[in-house]
Structures are given as C-alpha cells and as structure tokens.
C-alpha cells in the first residue's frame, strides 16, 4: 500500500514537487529550533563562508535546498531509471568514468550528502554498465525500508545494508569487477570509524571505504549531482580521487574527508548542513583537539 501511494506522489511533475519543497524548507526552518541550530552551527564551524555576507547568502540558499531535496526524492526513488537519467543535462568529468571502465578495475563512487543526493545513485545505476552494490543505512522508520530497497534495486543492483552482511555484498561485487556506491560523510557507529578533520573540526569518519578500496584494488571516483534549479534538470560531476590510501586509518580518513570537502566547496549551498556530522557516537573514543580548535 505504501509503495503504491508513494508511486502516485512520485508521478507529480518534478517542478511542482521542487517548488513545494522550497516552501517546505522554509516551513521546517521556522518550525524546528533544533533544525535551525544544527544548520547554523555546522555552517559556521565549516568556515566555508568568507564573511558575514557570504554566510547569510549560503544560509538563505541552503534553507530551501533542504526542502527541495526532501520532496524530489520521491520521483528519484520511484521513477524508471531511463526517465530520470534523461534529466541529466551534462556529465562533467565523464572521461574519468570512461578511463576507470577501460581499466577493468572495480569502481567505488563516493559522494557526500550534496545536491540531489538520490539522483547520484540514479546516475551510477543508470549510466554505468556494470553490476552495482549501493550501500544504504536502514532508516529509523522501518516502513521506509521497502521503498529504499525498491529504489536501490533498479537496474539489477543489489543493495547492501550497512552491516556485516552488506559489507560482504560490497566486497563480493567489487572483487567481481563491479561498482559500489557509498556516502562516507555518514557518522559510523562507535568502533567503526576514526576521528579525522572535516572542515577543520573532528568528525568521526568511516574506515570502510578505504578498507574496501585497498582489498579490491578499486578506483575511487568522488561525485555528486548538482541541482540546476526548479525544473531545469541536473548536472552529474565526477572527478579523480586525490591522495594515496596507505592503510593507516587516521591518514586514510583524513584524505577521504579532504576529497569530500573539495566537492562540497563547489556548491556549498546544496550540502546537507542540517546533518549532525560532528556528533560523538556512543562507543567512540573522545575526539582530539585540532590546531584550529585550540587557536
């Protein structure tokens, strides 16, 4: 029943959903003190804004972007892949994808919570001619998981939950020359990550991606999907991973976060600043103090 209802809503014109999302973004902003606090705090902690004027510009652009992202996920989850990839107006850095495919090595696409998040998964599933295993974290609302699995199974993909069974699916897919898709700016559980700087702040960071890349000799491709405006479609960005993974957890997590930061700086107004990226998960050690904090 829920799947049927969601499919019906997903048929609404995308520009209408995005326009409604713009309104929802502002309603949530004014209605949720916690949302306002986290968004403001994370944006200030990032020091991405050059001055107060730039900060206010980014803040006022980010507020409706959150709402748009919340509603456009309906068609991104439910519509056929070919109808969604048709909305991609440009693929920047596609030569890096072609080179990776030519190499024959497995590929790990990594993206922060940036832009049209679900469209990034659509692009990887609909444009890459290899078997895909997207990693997903089961939602807190159990009734949403069937929708998430339905979405991530399109195109013959095998969704991998963020647990031991899911990790086995990812490794199997990669070792068979397939493709994995992860969002490594999610806060892992205690004992599943290390502290590493993210915009100069200590952020508990997953080590899974680096481990899988080294174990499978995979090529890592940072990516994201830029929302071009209400009803104007999307632009898919891909770029090479910068830095070397050594197997030392703190070093690898730092390099990975640097790559994520580079993506976010390109369109910071479309990042999910309301996500509690700097929280201290239960079971994790105390965070270190970086020079930027002590100054």
Instruction: Show the tokens assigned to 185.
Output: 């700016």
pLDDT at 3: 65
Other beta carbons within 10 angstroms of residue 238's beta carbon come to 22
Q: Are 106 and 177 in contact (CB under 8 A)?
A: yes
How far apart, in whole angstroms, are the C-alpha atoms of residue 26 and residue 60?
9
DSSP, res 285? P
The first and second tokens of residue 261, run together, are 């930061």
DSSP state of 89: E
Q: pLDDT tens, 178-228?
A: 999 999 999 998 889 999 999 999 999 999 999 999 999 999 999 999 999
Rounded to whole angstroms, the Cα distance separating 97 from 118 reads: 19
Positive or negative torsion for Cα 39, 44, 46, 52:
positive
pTM to 2 decimals?
Answer: 0.93
**pLDDT tens digits along 62-84:** 999 999 999 998 899 889 999 99
Q: Parallel, antiparallel, or unpaired for β 234-238 and 201-206?
A: unpaired
Task: Specify the CATH number of the domain 2-272.
Answer: 3.40.1130
- Residues above pLDDT 90, as percent of the chain: 76
Q: Where are the alpha helices (DSSP H) in the chain?
A: 2-10, 14-31, 33-46, 52-78, 81-85, 94-103, 117-127, 145-152, 164-175, 208-216, 249-266, 291-294
pLDDT tens by residue, 173-185:
999 999 999 999 9
- Two tokens at 146? 């069937």
Q: What was the pLDDT predicted at 262?
A: 98
Q: What is the pLDDT of residue 131?
A: 87
């Amino acid at each position: 029943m829920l799947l049927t209802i969601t499919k019906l809503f997903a048929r609404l014109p995308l520009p209408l959903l995005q326009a409604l999302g713009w309104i929802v973004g502002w309603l949530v902003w004014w209605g949720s003190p916690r949302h306002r606090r986290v968004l403001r705090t994370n944006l200030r902690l990032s020091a991405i804004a050059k001055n107060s004027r730039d900060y206010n510009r980014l803040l006022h652009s980010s507020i409706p972007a959150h709402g748009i992202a919340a509603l456009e996920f309906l068609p991104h989850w439910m519509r056929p892949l070919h109808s969604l990839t048709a909305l991609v107006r440009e693929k920047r850095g596609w030569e890096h994808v072609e080179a990776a495919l030519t190499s024959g090595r497995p590929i790990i696409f990594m993206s922060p919570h940036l832009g049209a998040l679900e469209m990034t998964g659509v692009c990887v599933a609909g444009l890459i001619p290899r078997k895909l295993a997207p990693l997903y974290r089961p939602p807190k609302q159990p009734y949403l998981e069937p929708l998430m699995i339905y979405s991530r199974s399109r195109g013959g993909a095998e969704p991998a939950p963020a647990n031991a069974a899911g990790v086995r699916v990812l490794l199997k897919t990669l070792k068979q020359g397939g493709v994995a898709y992860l969002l490594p700016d999610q806060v892992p559980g205690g004992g599943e990550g290390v502290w590493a700087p993210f915009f100069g702040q200590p952020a508990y960071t997953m080590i899974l991606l680096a481990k899988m890349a080294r174990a499978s000799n995979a090529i890592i491709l940072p990516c994201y999907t830029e929302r071009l405006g209400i009803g104007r479609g999307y632009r898919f960005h891909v770029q090479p991973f910068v830095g070397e993974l050594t197997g030392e957890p703190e070093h690898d997590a730092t390099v990975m976060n640097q790559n994520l930061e580079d993506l976010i700086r390109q369109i910071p107004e479309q990042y999910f600043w309301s996500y509690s990226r700097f929280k201290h998960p239960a079971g994790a050690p105390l965070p270190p103090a970086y020079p930027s904090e002590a100054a």
